[in-house]
């Protein structure tokens, strides 16, 4: 199935810095969602951006979407230790019907104190 691919696979930054991770996909989407996974736990929905939106904010999260490049980015500003987690993008494709959200390998983010 089609899915997004996150990049980088791993990212380590100092607390207080900003973290940026990217997602690429291959076909037309209806929307793209970002999820967070704390170690071994179920994924938690963070933010949704629709195909007709270019940028969206939620607290310290900023998501951008460039449908011409088929890519999205997630920016976490002023990172905290609690942001240490894996982050996944999930493009929802325009195939008609909710036939599923699939995930890639994620970006593992480590925030150093």
- Six-digit token pair at 26? 């291959």
- State which of residues 89, 106, 109, 111 lies at the interface with another protein (CB under 8 A): 106
- State which of residues 21, 25, 63, 88 lies at the interface with another protein (CB under 8 A): 88
- State which of residues 24, 70, 102, 110 lies at the interface with another protein (CB under 8 A): 102
Phi, psi of 23 (to 5 degrees): -140, 130
Give CA–CA dist 23/27, Å, rounded.
13
Q: In sequence order, what are the beta bridge partners of 55?
A: 64
**In the complex, least distance from residue 14 CB atom to another protein, rounded to whole angstroms:** 26
Task: Assess 105 for contact with another protein (CB under 8 A).
Answer: yes
Q: Which residue has the tokens 């969602």?
A: 33
Task: Assess 87 for contact with another protein (CB under 8 A).
Answer: no
Task: Assess 100 for contact with another protein (CB under 8 A).
Answer: yes
Angle at 33 between CA 21 and CA 39, to 5 degrees: 65
- State which of residues 12, 16, 27, 44 lies at the interface with another protein (CB under 8 A): 44
Nearest residue to 36 (alpha-carbon basis) of 21, 25, 50: 21
- Using CB under 8 A as the criterion, which residues of the chain lie in contact with another protein when the complex forms? 1, 30-31, 33, 35, 40-45, 48, 50, 88, 90, 92, 97-106
């Amino acid at each position: 199935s089609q899915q997004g691919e996150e990049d980088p696979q791993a990212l380590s930054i100092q607390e207080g810095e900003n973290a940026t991770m990217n997602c690429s996909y291959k076909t037309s989407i209806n929307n793209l969602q970002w999820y967070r996974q704390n170690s071994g736990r179920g994924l938690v929905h963070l933010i949704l951006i629709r195909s007709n939106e270019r940028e969206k904010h939620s607290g310290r999260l900023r998501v951008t979407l460039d449908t011409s490049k088929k890519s999205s980015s997630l920016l976490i500003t002023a990172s905290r230790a609690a942001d240490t987690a894996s982050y996944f993008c999930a493009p929802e494709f325009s195939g008609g019907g909710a036939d599923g959200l699939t995930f890639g390998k994620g970006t593992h983010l480590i925030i150093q104190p």
